[in-house]
């Protein structure tokens, strides 16, 4: 019998919140980040954070634009409002889907956002086991 199984992958997501993001915008981003905690580990790097801490099933850490957080493999990197920071993220996390996001658009367009559906469409997010011989 031949079979192919898809194994759910554990994902790592990074949200980068640079200086200038309002409290209201940050709350929208954190609500999106919380939705992803069911799929993997979520890191939130923010210019408003001074020391690393864990809360709400997420790890919060300082954001230093010249020295981005160092991790293994990232599935998705979400950068609030900052295309330059996103370009740097693409270099630091070459296998990740790096997106510049706008909190206002998230609130409008993604009210019914299903993270599993979007993440499943990303090729790096799927891991398929090789077929086994009968």
pLDDT of residue 125: 39
H or E stretch covering 46: strand 40-46
Average pLDDT, the chain: 79
Domain boundaries, the chain: 6-128
Q: How many CA atoms lie within 13 A of 8 on its CB side?
A: 6
Structure tokens at 110: 């993604």
Q: Average the pLDDT over 71-79 and give the result.
A: 87
More confident call, 22 vs 2: 22
Yes or no: is domain 6-128 CATH 3.40.50? yes
Beta strands 97-101 and 76-80 are parallel
């Amino acid at each position: 019998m031949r079979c192919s199984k898809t194994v759910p992958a554990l994902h790592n997501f990074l949200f980068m919140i640079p200086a200038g993001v309002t409290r209201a915008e940050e709350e929208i981003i954190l609500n999106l980040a919380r939705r992803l905690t069911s799929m993997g580990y979520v890191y939130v790097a923010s210019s408003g954070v001074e020391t690393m801490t864990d809360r709400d099933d997420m790890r919060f850490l300082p954001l230093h634009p010249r020295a981005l957080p160092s991790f293994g493999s990232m599935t998705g990197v979400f950068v609030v409002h900052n295309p330059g920071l996103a370009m740097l993220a693409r270099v630091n996390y070459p296998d990740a889907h790096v997106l510049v996001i706008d909190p206002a658009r998230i609130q409008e367009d993604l009210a019914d956002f299903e993270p599993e559906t979007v993440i499943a469409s990303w090729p790096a997010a799927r891991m398929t086991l090789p077929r086994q011989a009968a």
